[in-house]
Amino acid sequence: MAKHLQIETGKLRNGVLRVGAFVEESFVLAIRAIARRDAETAQRVLDTHTEVDRMEVELEEECLKVLALYQPVARDLRLIVAILKINNDLERVGDLAENIALRAVSLAQRPALDAPYDLSGMAESTRQMLHGSLDALANMDSAIARLVCAQDDSVDTINRDMYRRVKAAIQAHPEQVEALLHLLSVSRYVERIADHATNIAEDVIYLLEGGIVRHGLGQGAPSEP
């Protein structure tokens, strides 16, 4: 039975990594659509969003089946709980990528407008965080996960700074207020994706070390053999 459980948990881990790769690509495409004012690319993200929802539901159902059939304990239980939580975070990342794509469609219909903050830098830092959190899960490496958590501050700094910059841009160019507000929303969505990447990294630490590090609670406990 233990061997069968290991096979099933391996399938679950591979499944959540597939979801992660899919939503990371959706995020990359959505940001590309913003940068290039490319409504066609944005529409690709919108057209495939239902696939994210389908994958998320199927993976959750598989997790529940394994819980019911094998009643895992210790690290196996933590792995399934972590996958359920990560799966939910990834579904939210997919939703946020969809929101960015919707803003891209709207912005593509307007005159070109430079973002008054470092959107490309913010988006790339966030993509690296998301990729890193999934890499930490794939390699079962809490050190990578902790690096992801440490990156969150830089994204938060850009997000805080963009309010001042957008406000100044609106005052200087009131005719562009609607487009600028779209960019403000995009910044918020990117910052939330960074938060979800941090959540995933924290769940990897919980999985490997058995300690909850969210909200600064503890540094992790030794994991069971």
Q: Which residue has the tokens 């805080």?
A: 160
Contact 137, 10 (CB under 8 A): no
pLDDT single digits (tens) 10-54: 999 999 999 999 999 999 999 999 999 999 999 999 999 999 999
* DSSP secondary structure letters along 21-77: HHHHHHHHHHHHHHHHT-HHHHHHHHHHHHHHHHHHHHHHHHHHHHHHHH---HHHH
Model pTM above 0.85: yes
Q: pLDDT value at position 85?
A: 97
Provide the residue ranges of all domains of the chain, joining segments of one domain with +.
2-216
Give the model's confidence band at 159: pLDDT under 50 very low, under 70 low, under 90 confident, else very high.
confident
pLDDT single digits (tens) 43-57: 999 999 999 999 999
Angle made by CA atoms 215, 221, 222, in degrees to the nearest 5: 155
State yes or no: pLDDT of 59 exceeds 70: yes
Using CA atoms, how far apart are residues 85 and 63, in angstroms rounded to an integer?
Answer: 11
Max Cα-Cα span within the chain: 68
Using CA atoms, how far apart are residues 61 and 4, in angstroms rounded to an integer?
Answer: 18
For residue 109, what is the DSSP state?
Answer: T
Q: For 2-216, CATH number? A: 1.20.58.220
Q: How large a percentage of the chain has pLDDT more than 90?
A: 72
